[in-house]
Amino acid sequence: MDGWLAEQGEELARAMDVPPEQLRLSNADVATLLDLARHAAHTSGDRKNAPLLCYLVGRAQGEAKLDDVADAVRGSSS
């Protein structure tokens, strides 16, 4: 994960009093989220939807695997 993003995650973890590992993104997570952002921009025709979709995915994920949530998103808008 990008150093700046990792630092932001650590700062956010401290501010929200959550374990830092809860906010760490693996390389696979980054790839999935960037693909979802691409998917959102392409299928909606508006790139502003990319970060908003990623936010919705984060809100919906809970204990589910990110790949499972991503598959549900891709399946619902293909």
User: In the numeric block, which tokens belong to residue 66?
Assistant: 């990110």
Closest CA to 30 of 12, 4, 49: 4
Spatial contact of 28 and 10, defined as CB atoms under 8 Å apart:
no
**In which band, very low, low, confident or very high, does the pLDDT at 77 lie, cut at 50, 70 and 90?**
low
User: In the numeric block, which tokens belong to residue 71?
Assistant: 């598959």
User: In the numeric block, which tokens belong to residue 44?
Assistant: 């909606």
The model carries a pTM of 0.83
What pLDDT does residue 2 have?
85
